[in-house]
Amino acid sequence: MLRHAPKFYEVAKRIVEITEDCILVAHNAQFDYRILCTEFRRLGFEYVRPSLCTVELSKDLIPGQDSYSLGKLVRALGIPVSDRHRASGDALATVKLFQMLLAKDTSKNIIKESIRLNPKLQMEPKHLDIIAGLPSITGVYYIHKEDGEIIYIGKSNNIKKRINQHFTSTNQKSKKIQALVSAVTYEATGSELVALLKESEEIKKIKPIYNRALRRTVFTHALYSFMDEKGYINLKMDVADLRKNPITTFTTRDSGKSFIIKAVEDYKLCQKLAGLYKTKTSCFNYDIKTCDGACIEKEAPESYNGRVQTLINKHSFRNKNMVIIDRGRDIDERSAILIENGVFKGLGFFNLNYQINNIEVLESIITPMQNNRDTQHIIQSYLRRNKQVKVISFN
């Protein structure tokens, strides 16, 4: 295989060029870096580059694996590999592994350290140069100061366009960001839901100075249910109360009211019991024969409550075990959002050629995340808006 390969001195100049201002990432980086340094030293050239080792990062971010050899590790994590022990196959597998490690590094220590290590990013950059290096994709972006500290985290369906807005806005916060920005890094998600969840989690964890320090809850109103004295399940729209367990949540009262109006129509519910029509007698829909009369006890509670419960089951994931499958970062990849017993556990990515066929494999690729009211609202509102998203239930 090496009979017709070029000698090292023939490719040395190209290696210097393609690794200029870069950080070398390798599985067992110490070995690869030592080989490069030794070969360059024989040519009388001092080769110095910062490096990151995916073995060490994996031990830190994915503890408890049986083996940290590249082959066994990527197999355990569901990363497809072709041409094992060949340069291209191993390199591509390392890229996929490194993407997973970046996703699991929710404190963003890898990115912050890389900006401190990378001399190119220490120069005073022009905003146009930063924008030129950004893609028009869905993901989460991080605005850094010169020392690598993250001063703002955001999410966008078009990162390049959003950063351009930051750099051209004249409000006070944008001006402060413009004065301090040294670099913008990003993480592609493919899925808007993944971007929303990562943004929420990382703002709470990292607390960047130009994100609102105690970010207000993204929802203001919630839908609750209660049983009246006649045995009918009633629905009630109210201001969100963190002490109560809602069916679902909304960013405004109007969006909540629109949801109930549509639910009454879709599930043939009673306007009075859904909180839309205050009356001591029958609701308007009964008069026009689109309500079966639960408002005046014409319809039995068991029959009516069955339809209300169908609505509740669809829009609340309380006590449910399910995986939400959405877009991935590449055409052959999908994202997975895991919910166990009604609790959001985290998210990850898997290749379409590698089927997720058991919960243990799924849990190994998942980056654990906090379950809170914000994440529940983000997931519920996203599923309401995106009917085509695939949801798989499991025992």
Residues 181, 148: Cα–Cα separation, whole Å: 10
Amino acid identity at 197: L
pLDDT beyond 80 at 84 = no
The pTM of the full predicted model, rounded to 2 decimals, is: 0.68
Residue 122 has a pLDDT of 41
Residue 348 counted as domain residue: yes
Whether residues 96 and 12 fall in one domain: yes
Q: Is the distance from CB of 260 to CB of 223 less than 8 angstroms?
A: yes
Q: What is the mean pLDDT of residues 239-256?
A: 86
Residues 300 and 228 in one domain: yes
**Which structural domain, as residue segments, surrounds residue 161?**
109-206
- Name the domain boundary from 315, 342, 362: 315
Could you give the CA distance from residue 154 to residue 143 in angstroms, rounded to a whole number? 9
Locate 359 and state its tokens.
């919960």
**What's the confidence (pLDDT) of residue 376?**
87
> What pLDDT digit, counting tens, does each position of 147-157 carry?
999 999 999 99
Query: What are the pLDDT digits (tens) for 51-78?
Result: 899 999 999 899 888 899 998 998 888 8
Which of 120-124, 262-266, 385-389 has the least mean pLDDT?
120-124
What is the rounded distance in angstroms from the CA atom of residue 275 to the CA atom of residue 295? 11
Domain finish residue from 158, 175, 206 = 206
Q: Which amino acid is at 128?
A: L
Residue 215 domain-assigned?
A: no
Interval 191-219 mean pLDDT: 83
Query: What is the C-alpha separation between 287 and 289, in angstroms, rounded?
Result: 5
Total count of domains within the chain: 4
Q: Answer whether residue 255 is part of any domain.
A: yes
Average pLDDT, rounded, for the chain: 88
Whole-angstrom Cα distance, residue 236 to residue 359? 36
More confident residue, 198 or 362: 198
**CA separation for the pair 141, 130 (Å, rounded):** 12
Q: How far apart are CA 160 and CA 132, in angstroms?
A: 8
Token readout for 158 is 């078009």
> In which band, very low, low, confident or very high, does the pLDDT at 357 lie, cut at 50, 70 and 90?
low
Statement: residue 191 has pLDDT above 70: yes
When pLDDT is cut at 50, 70 and 90, the band that residue 111 belongs to is confident
